[in-house]
Amino acid sequence: MVLIRSILLILIFELEINSSSMGNPQTIWYNAEKKLVETMDQRYLPFQNRIVGIATLDEARTAITDMIVRGAPLIGVTAAYGMYLAARDFYGTNFSVEMKEAADRLKSSRPTAVNLAFAVDEAFSVISEEHSVAENAGRLFEYAEMLKDREIDFSKNIGHFGLELIKEISIKKNGEPVQILTHCNAGRLATVELGTATAPMYLAHEAKIPIHVWVDETRPRNQGARLTAWELGEAGIPHTVIPDNTGGHLMQHGMVDLVIVGSDRTTLNGDVANKIGTYLKALAAADNRIPFYVALPSTSIDWDLNDGVTEIPIEQRDGREVSVMEGLHDNQIHEFRMIPEKTRVANYGFDVTPARLVTGLITERGICKSSREGILKLFPEKKTIDD
């Protein structure tokens, strides 16, 4: 039974269809003419490429909860713009109290990606009682733009460091395509530009190093099949979508040289929370002695946590994401129920890969061991007196 959802999906914001999908390499920007933030509505990709406007704090929050935007760095940047919109639209009596409320509302929108809290807290810290509301709004806008630019720089640096890994393998393989497996979408769509896990892939492709990417479909929301496949396709990077359970088999048969995934939150000890299913790929990679790298900006490191399995909050989402799938039929987006009616489902959004299974972290400052020592070597300013 086909349940028609179609193009009538509730559209909360102003909307237009973008005909040139890769015209703007950035995934979020401020439209000064319309006085709103614009982004791609990722719920419709790869079937339709829609640009959606975010005009208020509540719309920024909804964009994050409904996964119009997703991916840890992009969630952070969206939240920073949300703080600006809250200040710009302030008509109340107590600015700092209401901005604190705005910050809390944004922080509660998704629990696992630490970039969200990082961006909101950093944004909040630029507010000062010495300044007028308008000045504070200006400072928040500047902060959001700065965070956006910083994330772009981080992605570029991650790309350069990760590229060296790909080059080494390519030399060993005498120019045969380097086979890279990735999970979920830690691509351009999860960041502002280039992505994290995909940044080395984009740069390798640009440098004409032959690569091929195995893309885990990433149930239940299929970020791999829908988003990673779309963006790699747009960039002309050879790739193949595989069902989530396929990676282990490919690894046993020498068909994977390297795994690169992203991270939503990495603890100071190097445990990595990422999209559900990442842990199983890390286990299979370890069993087959295949290097398993995590690409992440430092904005995804939680400097206050140590043990990922017990300390990182794992988001549980609506069971409908498991029981219902979306697809294109007759040029319309439809929903399909996949399991018996009334069957219970569980939908854990993320899992934690322990540091011992991670070969290394590819950060904006270089590649390090996934350990407290390794991380602090790259980020010595985070050392405490105990280190």
Binding residues for ligand MRU, rule: CB under 6 A, are 70-73, 113, 184, 186, 190-191, 195-196, 223, 262-264, 274-275, 349
Q: CA neighbours within 13 Å on the CB side: how many for 6? A: 7
**Residues facing 302 on adjacent strands:** 267
Q: Is the CB of residue 217 less than 8 Å from the CB of residue 140?
A: no
363/260 Cα distance (integer angstroms): 12
Q: Would you list the DSSP string of 273-310?
A: EEETTHHHHHHHHHHTT--EEEE--GGGEETT---HHH
Task: Compare residues 111 and 349 and give the one whose CB is closer to ligand MRU.
Answer: 349
Residue 137 has a CB neighbour count (10 Å cut-off) of 21
Task: Compare residues 137 and 186 and give the one whose CB is closer to ligand MRU.
Answer: 186
Task: Compare residues 170 and 191 and give the one whose CB is closer to ligand MRU.
Answer: 191
* Min dist. Cβ of residue 350 to ligand MRU (A): 6
DSSP state of 314: P
Task: Compare residues 13 and 154 and give the one whose CB is closer to ligand MRU.
Answer: 154
Task: Compare residues 205 and 281 and give the one whose CB is closer to ligand MRU.
Answer: 281
Q: Is 200 helix (H, G, I), strand (E, B) or coil?
A: helix
231/49 Cα distance (integer angstroms): 12
φ, ψ for residue 70, nearest 5 deg: -155, 175
Task: Select from 304, 296, 279, 287 the least CA-distant residue to 365.
Answer: 296
**Annotated catalytic, 216?**
no
Task: Compare residues 90 and 216 and give the one whose CB is closer to ligand MRU.
Answer: 216
Active-site choice (41, 244, 257, 264): 264
Q: CA neighbours within 13 Å on the CB side: how many for 150? A: 16
Task: Compare residues 186 and 301 and give the one whose CB is closer to ligand MRU.
Answer: 186
Residue in the shown chain whose Cβ atom is closest to ligand MRU: 262
* Type of residue at 174: N
Q: Is the CB of residue 266 less than 8 Å from the CB of residue 379?
A: no
325/343 Cα distance (integer angstroms): 15
Residue 111 has a CB neighbour count (10 Å cut-off) of 18
Residue 381 has a CB neighbour count (10 Å cut-off) of 5
Positions marked active-site: 264
